[in-house]
A and B are shown apart, each in its own frame.
Chain A
Amino acid sequence: MPFGLIKYGLSSSYPGKRFLSAQPDLKSSYDVVIIGGGGHGLATAYHLARYHGIRNVAVFEKGYIGGGNTGRNTAIIRSNYLTPEGVAFYEESVSLYRQLSNELDYNILYSERGHFTLAHTDSAMRTSRWRAEVNKHLGVDSELVYRDDLARLIPQLNLSEDVRYPVLGALYHPPGAIARHDAVAWGYAGRATELGVEIHQGTTVTDIEVTDGRVTGVVTDRGTVACGTAVQAVAGMSSEVARLAGIKLPIRTIPLQACVSQPMKPSLDPIIVSGSLHVYISQSDRGEFVMGGSTDPYPRYQTTSSLDFIEGLMSHVLELLPHLSEVQILRQWAGMTDMTPDFAPVMGETPVENYYIDAGWGTWGFKATPVCGKRMAELLATRRVPSLIAPFRLSRFEDFSLVGEKGAASVGH
Chain B
Amino acid sequence: MKQMQCPLNGWRNIQEFAHGGEVVDEPDPNRCTDAEWAEYIFMEDNKAGLVKEWWCHVATAYWFIAERDTVKDEIVRTYDPSELFKERRDYTRPEALEGKS
Contact = CB atoms under 8 A, between A and B. Distances in A.
Bound pair: A and B?
Answer: yes
B45 A248 contact: yes
A252 B38 CA distance: 16
Interface string A234-255: 0001011000000011111100
B19 A298 contact: yes
A302 B38 CA distance: 29
Interface in B1-47: 1, 14-15, 18-19, 34-35, 38-39, 42-47
B43 A248 contact: yes
B19 A397 contact: no
A155 interface: no
A304 B34 CA distance: 39
B46 A249 contact: yes
Contacts of B1: 308
Given A298-B19, A398-B35, A400-B38, A239 B70 contact: no
Name the interface size band of chain B: 10 to 19
A300 interface: yes
Interface string A273-291: 0000000000000000000
Contacts of B35: 398
Contacts of A252: 44, 46
A239 B46 contact: yes
A94 to B, nearest CB: 29
A308 B71 contact: no
Contacts of A237: 48
Contacts of B15: 297, 308
Contact of B71 (A248, A301, A398, A399): A301
B38 A398 contact: yes
Contacts of A249: 43-44, 46
B71 to A, nearest CB: 5
Given A397-B38, A398-B35, A400-B38, A301 B43 contact: no
B64 to A, nearest CB: 14
A357 to B, nearest CB: 14
A386 interface: no
A397 B42 contact: yes
A251 B44 contact: yes
A398 B45 CA distance: 16
A299 interface: yes
A298 B51 CA distance: 12
A298 B14 CA distance: 10
Q: Max chain A CB contacts within 10 Å: which of B19, B46, B71? A: B46
A399 B42 CA distance: 11
A308 B15 CA distance: 9
A398 B43 CA distance: 10
A404 interface: no
A249 B18 CA distance: 23
Contacts of B95: none
B83 interface: no
Q: Max chain B CB contacts within 10 Å: which of A237, A251, A301? A: A301
A299 B70 contact: yes
A300 B42 contact: no
Nearest to A342: B42
Contact of B44 (A250, A302, A304): A250
Q: Max chain A CB contacts within 10 Å: which of B35, B38, B44, B47? A: B44
A239 B44 contact: yes
A341 interface: yes
Contacts of B39: 248
A401 to B, nearest CB: 10
B73 interface: yes
Contacts of A248: 39, 43-45
A232 to B, nearest CB: 14
Q: Max chain B CB contacts within 10 Å: which of A248, A298, A304, A398? A: A298
10 contacts: A239-B46, A240-B48, A251-B46, A298-B19, A300-B70, A301-B70, A304-B73, A308-B1, A397-B43, A400-B34
